[in-house]
Structure 1
Amino acid sequence: MEEEDENEELFDVQEILVDPKQSPVRIDKFVTDKLPRVSRNRVQNGIRSGSIRVDGQRVKPNHRLSPGELITVVIPRHEDAVDGLLPENIPLDIRYEDDAILIVHKPPGMVVHPGVGNPSGTLVNALAHYLNHEDIPVLPGNDPDRVGLVHRIDKDTSGLLVIAKTDEAMTHLARQFFDHSIERTYQAVVWGAPDPGEGTVDRNIGRHPRIRQNYTVFDEEEEGKRAVTHYRTLDDLYYVSLLELKLETGRTHQIRVHMKSLGNPVFQDQKYGGDRIVKGTVYSKFKTFVERCFELCPRQALHAKSIGFVHPTTGEFVQFDSDLPEDMQAMLDRWRGYVGHRRLNNLLEE
């Protein structure tokens, strides 16, 4: 099972309309009665963090509801639930930790969440062992095997993930992801050079009508969901380019699908056409060179480089950054050497 690169899509919004005949009642008690499987303490944390709002506004747990008010509750989905999560002593690349959060660097090839075909060996199995499964926070409506997870990235995408260690941190971060206020920066090597070199892709994304495991762009507004990706070329190597990408939304496979729609698929992306020569010469030496680059980076060249958000405890904006992993860096260095050599030969021939 391949992990999906999605963020706010892990959450749904449940709306509760206060009955016209409802007598005055505290919102924490009212919501607890409506969500019997959720403790009052967790409901209160959700209200404080802004995951539970009234008419779109933040309120306090002692807010007394009035008839006709609309309560919105951001809750996670139950997909990929696994019975009997097995904590496993798998090494974690921890970049930061405090009492509320954990910043983990996920290597390429590691699945984030257990599912059919991947019951073990995942990041969540490792987190269950490291954090002590019994003490892991769970959002209202969540399955107990989510293990502090508020977002995820593809199996073959490397990079940073933020993990919640407390209920308060969980609900606080969930709201930020839902509101698109989390700042996420990716780097990718793509085929060719986008034109213009800097811009925004604003095209709806949804499941491919024929290849159901893939996603595609739609020109019609009523199809798919709106997806916005901002990109900037960092290094134009003619045959490939290194891009910086910032997500405004977090749709499934968003970067990979948007880049394909521009004609610049992510290098070595087997699902979206990046695992073949898209740009270059017809010479056999070039084909051999590209094959060696594929061997250096045997997965899509996509890296979740940085993440920034308001810290759930301090209220201050924090940001965490990571270098390109070795496989992407080695492949990129080889491309730079190849292009530099060709440019030198062209100058000598002039």
Structure 2
Amino acid sequence: MAGAEDAGERADRFLAARFDGVSRSRIKGLIEGGAVTVDGATLSDPSLRVKAGQTFAIVVPEPEPAEPEAQDIRLAVVYEDEEVIVVDKPAGMVVHPAPGNPDRTLVNALLAHCGASLRGIGGVRRPGIVHRIDKDTSGLLVAAKSEPALTGLQRQFADHSARRSYLAVVWGVPNPLAGEIEGDIGRHPVDRQRMAIVARGGRPALTRYRTIRRVGSRASLLECRLATGRTHQIRVHLAARGHPLVGDPVYGRTRGARNAGADAAARAALAGFSRQALHAATLGFSHPITGKWLEFESPLPEDMGTLLARLELI
């Protein structure tokens, strides 16, 4: 329980001082992972200012294995050789183990699929994750199977010579129909679980988009190309323009989205569609060892095709 002398202290700093052997960074991770409560309610903000009399509780999970477990999970492999593997990730699959998603991830699946062909990243037999796409975004992703391949791919993603495009279904019709959205992206100043366009402390982000077609009277199908690769970049940029992704549970709360999806027809169109309408449709890069240009395309998944057909009717 916090005393009068603790009032005003950050929660993560207060807890780190009270729990011997648990670092402040570990406390912060436990808070963000939902393992800490204050007066019985889950604490989500490590910077919360403590009040006298508050009672905190921490559930410290058992230490996780040093290496993710190989798990036999079906993968849609688009391309594979001794150096790289390209997969078509389904919506609902997390890329890398993390608090809340310790297994059944793409990394677990790659460990089982690639087996001994993984030649080691940093001295550990594991896949080299070059870029990530959100759990509920579907589409193409490349991983390295060796240290030289990882280095070569990382260089291309850093200098933006690798090419990526996404298909997005958004509420409304952008004006202009094609253009660029710029705005530094960082943690939301209040809701630390979200990203936002911020005035300070963010990283530069640029999204290029074009409208492929209108979809019914409420929505549009866009192609988006990333000039940078920030967390939730497309979702944040389009929401900031007033055209959030259809179905986005985090960034789709704008007035325009609420109005567009307010009537029974719109609700019926969204029935059964429980994710943001975003698909990583194309991926191109130079092979990190041979230098040969490789380019791949993934068709629109069935759930987004069904969504478009329903939206056409309203």
Task: Give TM-score scaled by structure 2 length.
Answer: 0.74
Give a deviation string over 1:226-267, Cα, whole Å, max 9, x none: 100000000113311000000000011000000010000011
Matches within 5 A, 1:273-312: 273=252, 277-280=257-260, 287-312=263-288
Report how many residues are paired: 249
- Once the two structures are superposed, residues 70-119 of structure 1 have per-residue CA deviations (whole angstroms, 9 ceiling, x without a partner) of xxxxxxxxxxx962311001111101112221110000001110111211
Alignment map for 1:179-198 (pairs within 5 Å): 179-198=159-178
Deviation at 1:323, TM superposition (A): 0.6
Q: Deviations over 1:29-61 (max 9, x none)?
A: xxxxxxxxxxxxxxxxxxxxxxxxxxxxxxxxx
The answer for the alignment partner of 2:44 in structure 1 is: none
Q: Could you tell me whether the CA contact under 8 Å between 1:85 and 1:145 is conserved in 2?
A: no
Q: Point out which structure has higher relative CO (alpha carbons under 8 A, 6+ apart).
A: 1
Quick one: distance in 2 between partners of 1:207 and 1:266?
Answer: 19
User: For 2:251 and 2:125, how far apart are their aligned partners in 1?
Assistant: 31
Question: Over residues 160-190 of structure 1, what are the superposed CA-to-partner deviations in whole Å (9 max), with x where a residue is unaligned?
Answer: 0011122221111011111121111001000
| Identical counterparts, % of pairs | 46
| 1:135 paired residue number | 118
Q: Which residue of 1 aligns with 2:311?
A: 335
Inter-CA distance 294–281: structure 2 relative to 1 (3 Å threshold): closer
Q: Distance in 2 between matches of 1:263 and 1:200?
A: 14
RMSD over equivalenced CA pairs, Å: 2.1
Which of 232, 236, 247 is the matching residue for 2:214? 236
Structure 2: segments with no counterpart, 5+ residues: 1-63
Q: TM-score, normalised by structure 1?
A: 0.67
Distance 2:121 2:115 in 1: 13
Seen in structure 2, the aligned counterparts of structure 1 residues 239 and 174 have a Cα distance that, compared at 3 Å, is same
Output the CA distance in 2 between the equivalents of 1:85 and 1:267: 33
Post-superposition offset of 1:274: 5.2
Moved over 4 A (4+): 274-277
Q: Decide whether the 8 Å contact of 2:152 with 2:289 is kept in 1.
A: no
Q: Is the 2:118–2:125 Cα contact (8 Å) retained in structure 1?
A: no
Residue 93, structure 1, aligned to residue 73, structure 2: no
Distance 1:307 1:274, change over 3 A: farther
Structure 1 CA distance for aligned equivalents of residues 91 and 81 of structure 2? 25
Match for residue 184 of structure 2?
Answer: 204
Contact 1:82 1:119 in 2 (8 A): no
Aligned to 2:291: 315
Structure 1 residue runs of 5 or longer lacking an equivalent are 1-80, 340-350
